[in-house]
Amino acid sequence: MDAISIIRTKRDGGALTPAQIDWVVDAYTRGTVADEQMSALAMAILLNGMDRAEIARWTAAMIASGDRMDFSSLDRPTTDKHSTGGVGDKITLPLAPLVAACGAAVPQLSGRGLGHTGGTLDKLESVPGWRARLSTEEMLDVLREAGAVICAAGDGLAPADRKLYALRDVTGTVESIPLIASSIMSKKIAEGTGALVLDVKVGSGAFMKNLDDARELARTMVGLGKDHGVRTVALLTDMSVPLGLAAGNALEVRESVEVLAGGGPADVVELTLALAREMLDAAGLPDADPARALADGSAMDHWRRMITAQGGDPDAPLPVAREQHTLTAPASGVLTALDAYAVGVAAWRLGAGRARKEDPVQAGAGIELHARPGDTVTAGAPLLTLHTDTPERFEDALAALADDAVAVTPAEGPRSVSPARPSVVLERVD
């Protein structure tokens, strides 16, 4: 085996053999294949694609590069969820304890934000004392205590993916559907969960901008789950506008707690319940009622136990940014545009996100939304409140919200009721 012949095979539109895939993934992980050679292969895969057999074998090779977790010692079925990322997507926070309250165990390995999309670990680290890094035994202890754990993946889990992802991020090959699918699924399968529900975002604030690409990604990942014996289903969900009324770390934690307390924005509640029902059904608990677990407080109890078990204080005040700036409606009418990508970039520029993995984030930075598309607003009323510790960031953040990112259209005649909002769930793929 040699890297050059493998690159040429994919460059010329050929299919890689199982032996070629096993060798190149292993050799790259060990450093035998150089970054520039794997960059060339990743670009060839981006341009020429992979068939299902290639993707399945590539995923298997990534899994084989490291450890596999085992939760068979737990007395309940395991189920997990993965989101492809969006703006204001705090669903993991209320979802994990909710599903745990209904009888399943949720070993949720999560990541950090990069660019305009937020990261679950960054959000939870705004809770004083909370720890993202846990050993495998600590994970099991938290699962036994709270039924759910949200933490960082260990270094031994799919190390080939960690190395390849960093390379794709700087070589313009992030958008390859085979590489996205194998990246996500290699970690989730190695995690050892019994069932998996995928939240594939679609729209301006997502990596998949159109429904066809999102559907292809969802079908590819569901097929990979089936190939590896993990019951997998996907929901395609709307990310053309931000999810909920907050984008930012502590702001999103606060909104998540509102959902667990029985309130919160309607779209966040809708998606949390939809994903919970899918996770419970996949785990063999179709009769569990997540809506009841929200209403009776048991989901909140599991949240508090989970946060406490990971060193956090669920009663401690969350960080608040030192400076705020409010963007008001320029005229009376109907809010007709609130672009998710623009809001995500603005929150990132305020300090809620990072441009590089090593960059720090501000716990209190982000954006509060006071209206959503379809709402009637009056001139001078607040539309968005920007939060940051560093007020010199306001100018760049407001620039991201210029042009048509936020638009108010004069209403035609009196409006007493906002129109019904479409469902955030667009399709189901199984």
Residue 88 has which token pair?
A: 């204001």
Question: What is the per-residue pLDDT across 50-95, written as a single tens digit (0 to 9) for each?
Answer: 999 999 999 999 999 999 999 999 999 999 999 998 999 999 999 9
Residue 205 has pLDDT above 60, yes or no: yes
Residue 412 has pLDDT above 80, yes or no: no
**CB neighbours of residue 378 within 10 Å:** 11
Same CATH topology for 3-49 and 80-316: the answer is no
Spatial contact of 429 and 222, defined as CB atoms under 8 Å apart: yes
Long-range contacts of 167-173 (CB under 8 A, 24+ apart): 167/35, 167/38, 167/39, 167/42, 168/42, 169/114, 171/39, 171/42, 171/43, 172/43, 172/46, 173/39, 173/42, 173/43, 173/45, 173/46
Residue 116: its pLDDT value, please? 83
Task: Select 3-49's CATH number: 1.10.3720.10, 2.10.10.90, 1.20.1740.10, 1.20.970.10.
Answer: 1.20.970.10
Residue 250: its pLDDT value, please? 98
Residue 166: its pLDDT value, please? 84
**What does CATH list as the number for 323-409?**
3.90.1170.30
Sign of the C-alpha dihedral, residues 385, 390, 394, 400?
Answer: negative
Residue ranges per domain, the chain?
A: 3-49, 80-316, 323-409
pLDDT bin (cut points 50, 70, 90) of residue 419 is: low
Q: Which helix (H) or strand (E) holds 80?
A: strand 80-83
Q: Give the residue carrying structure tokens 């966040």.
A: 268
Sign of the C-alpha dihedral, residues 373, 374, 375, 378?
Answer: positive
Range name among 23-32, 85-94, 290-299, 357-366 with the lowest pLDDT average: 357-366
Question: What is the per-residue pLDDT across 207-253, written as a single tens digit (0 to 9) for each?
Answer: 899 999 999 999 999 999 998 999 999 999 999 999 999 999 999 99
Provide, rounded to the nearest whole percent, the portion of the chain with pLDDT above 90.
Answer: 85
The mean predicted confidence, pLDDT, of the chain is 94
Question: What is the per-residue pLDDT across 143-192, written as a single tens digit (0 to 9) for each?
Answer: 999 999 999 988 888 999 989 988 987 888 988 999 999 999 999 999 99
Q: Give the residue carrying structure tokens 């129109």.
A: 419
Give the mean model confidence (pLDDT) for residues 35-55: 96
Residue 160 has which token pair?
A: 């080939």
Domain 80-316 fold: Pyrimidine Nucleoside Phosphorylase; Chain A, domain 2 (3.40.1030)
Question: What is the per-residue pLDDT across 332-368, written as a single tens digit (0 to 9) for each?
Answer: 999 999 999 999 999 999 999 887 777 889 999 999 9
Per the confidence metrics, is the pTM higher than 0.75? Answer: yes
Residue 284: its pLDDT value, please? 95
CA dihedral 2, 7, 9, 15 (to 10 degrees): 100
Residue 355: its pLDDT value, please? 75
State how far the Cα of 380 lies from the Cα of 327, in Å rounded to an integer.
9
pLDDT bin (cut points 50, 70, 90) of residue 414 is: low
Residue 416: its pLDDT value, please? 44
Residue 301 has pLDDT above 90, yes or no: yes
Catalytic positions: 82, 161, 168, 183, 187
